[in-house]
Amino acid sequence: MELFWHRRDLRAADNVGLAAATGADDDADRGPAAPVFVFDPDILEHASDVRVRRLLDGLAALRDDYRERGSDLLVARGDPETVLPRLADALDAERVVWNRDYSGLARERDAGVRRALDGVDVAREAHHDAVLHDPDAIRTNAGDPYSVYSYYWKKWTDRATDDPAPTPTGEGLVDADRLADAVDAVDWDDAADAVADGGDADAGSVTADAGLNGLAVGDLPAPADLGFAEPDAEVGPAGTAAARERLDEFLDEAVFAYEAERDYPAKGATSRLSAFLKYGEIGVREAYAATEEAMAEAESDARPDDAPEQVEEYQQQLAWREFYAQVLFHNPEVVTSNFKEYEAGIEWRDDPEEIAAWKRGETGYPIVDAGMRQLRQEAFMHNRVRMIVASFLTKDLLADWRHGYDHFREKLADHDTANDNGGWQWAASTGTDAQPYFRIFNPMTQGERYDPDAEYIKEHVPELRGLDADLIHEWHELSPTQRANAAPEYPAPIVDHSERREAALAMYKRARGED
């Protein structure tokens, strides 16, 4: 019997650690395994309404997958260092198994859990699962981690990939009745006593607080039980079945025009897989194998000559995800610090009112406001628009990228520390492979180029719906009277892009010690 600890891998299929723990990978000596998810207060401290909702939806889908196999999902709350040894003991488990998580906070947590399990003499095992190629696998010829994506990509794409991990059957899983017995057998009282005595506060968090009674079979809490509210945004579907449906649909047709259309937000030409990948509801080996099948089709006569490039461009995005995962793994400090420091330091302007207008989607730059409002409404934003709003915050408002990162972290359902941080630092010219500081997006020409008919803008900014696209793209040039006549509810630009562009150049020059 083994205990499998789910974290960012909310799926039964193509789950390397689970396949090992259940014996699905053909090791007859392994399994059955009891799956558990632990609501860890330290991790919840960094969560948001949107992400808690999305997490609960993913857990519900995972639990239902287990129920279909005669098993269930154990749901616990507390410090994993306390919960897991107790649970392993109650189940008489030989081993606790999990998949690695590469962020700094998660690695600290996992080190604590390893120590706690050593203390009670339970074996443990961690697997590489979240990425195709683990963060140490791809290095420069000198043995260093890569900080330039294009070189990383070449090695990434040339490496052999593993097949998807086999899915466990009911036989590899502990059945639901036995899980219920194990829950009854866990003695939480001594933990409560410890708290009452002013003892181990962490241990107390596994007891009867938050409506979870420490541990339950399949019962998921409501967001309020965890200290969160229902989000205003629609977070979209969750779970493996929904992820597969979305990927299949995307690979059926859209992938063959991906490179040509991915930058146009109104076209909906991207896979919208990011939240599924973030919560691990689809395995990356499975997703990649599916793109390889699309590549075979692209190379056949059935598709235009440029189809392989289109599919490869999509595979490149999966590689960006792994590139940023390895950047974070090797540089955990980037979560709060610049990857690339400027000699004299950047003196951000950080005007609170401008930052607040950006967050509300009321900057008077239509494409920026459309993006910020999409974020609020859908807990998602199109990639091109993420780049535009990030450039606007850092290079038009001259605000520290950390304001933007924190806002995205709160509002995005797909928030992923590595990708979000990588995206922000790229936009702020402080990251790896840094976009040179003098490349500053013009929000009006970006809007005109990537949303020529203003379809995306009109979808998210109702005040502009009645206007011709030309007028929308000229918004910054209109007189106050023209603006008042055209769309009285929509704000004038809060800053002058040309002026701010010069100010940004000066700010970066000073930061480089050139002034």
Q: Which residues bind ligand FAD (CB under 6 A)?
A: 262, 270-274, 277-278, 317-318, 320-321, 324, 383, 386-387, 390, 408, 412, 414-416, 419-420, 422-424, 427
- Residues in the annotated binding site: 258, 270-274, 314, 317-324, 414-416
Nearer to ligand FAD, 324 or 508 (CB): 324
* Three-class secondary structure assignment of 203-272: HHCCCCHHHCCCEEECCCCCHHHHCCCCCCCCCCCCCHHHHHHHHHHHHHCHHHHHHHHCCCHHHCCCCC
DSSP 145: B
How many whole angstroms separate alpha carbon 180 and alpha carbon 152?
A: 47
What backbone torsions phi and psi does residue 148 show, to the nearest 5 degrees? -120, 120
* Three-class secondary structure assignment of 27-56: CCCCCCEEEEEEECHHHHCCCCHHHHHHHH
Quote the least distance from Cβ 380 to ligand FAD, whole Å: 7
How many whole angstroms separate alpha carbon 241 and alpha carbon 10?
A: 12
Nearer to ligand FAD, 415 or 483 (CB): 415
Instruction: Give residue 397's Cα distance to chain centre.
Output: 26
Sheet holding 95-99, edge to edge: 123-127, 95-99, 2-6, 33-39, 74-77, 215-217
Quote the least distance from Cβ 421 to ligand FAD, whole Å: 8
Q: Give the pair of three-digit tokens for residue 203.
A: 């241990």
Quote the least distance from Cβ 214 to ligand FAD, whole Å: 32
Nearer to ligand FAD, 172 or 404 (CB): 404
Nearer to ligand FAD, 103 or 271 (CB): 271
Nearer to ligand FAD, 403 or 458 (CB): 403
Quote the least distance from Cβ 340 to ligand FAD, whole Å: 16
Q: Give the pair of three-digit tokens for residue 407.
A: 């806002």
Quote the least distance from Cβ 371 to ligand FAD, whole Å: 10
Quote the least distance from Cβ 5 to ligand FAD, whole Å: 23
Rounded to 5°, the CA angle 119-121-123 comes to 115
Helix, strand, coil percentages for the chain (3-state, nearest 5):
55, 5, 40
Burial of 457 (0-12, 13-18, 19+ CB in 10 A): buried
Nearer to ligand FAD, 189 or 234 (CB): 234
* Residues 59, 73 contacting (CB under 8 angstroms): yes
> Cα Rg for the chain, rounded, in angstroms?
25
Quote the least distance from Cβ 64 to ligand FAD, whole Å: 23
Indicate the residue whose CB is closest to ligand FAD. 423
Quote the least distance from Cβ 153 to ligand FAD, whole Å: 12
Q: Give the pair of three-digit tokens for residue 2.
A: 């083994």
Nearer to ligand FAD, 30 or 415 (CB): 415
Question: DSSP secondary structure string, 85-134?
Answer: HHHHHHHT-SEEEEE---SHHHHHHHHHHHHHHHHTT-EEEEE--SSSS-
Nearer to ligand FAD, 83 or 275 (CB): 275
Nearer to ligand FAD, 23 or 371 (CB): 371
- Residues in the annotated binding site for FAD: 258, 270-274, 314, 317-324, 414-416
Nearer to ligand FAD, 71 or 374 (CB): 374
Quote the least distance from Cβ 314 to ligand FAD, whole Å: 6
Closest to 62 in 3D by CA, of 7, 22, 11, 9? 11
Quote the least distance from Cβ 244 to ligand FAD, whole Å: 14
Burial of 317 (0-12, 13-18, 19+ CB in 10 A): middle
Determine how β-strand 215-217 pairs with β-strand 74-77. Answer: antiparallel
Q: Give the pair of three-digit tokens for residue 183.
A: 């829950």
Amino acid (1-letter code) at residue 43? I
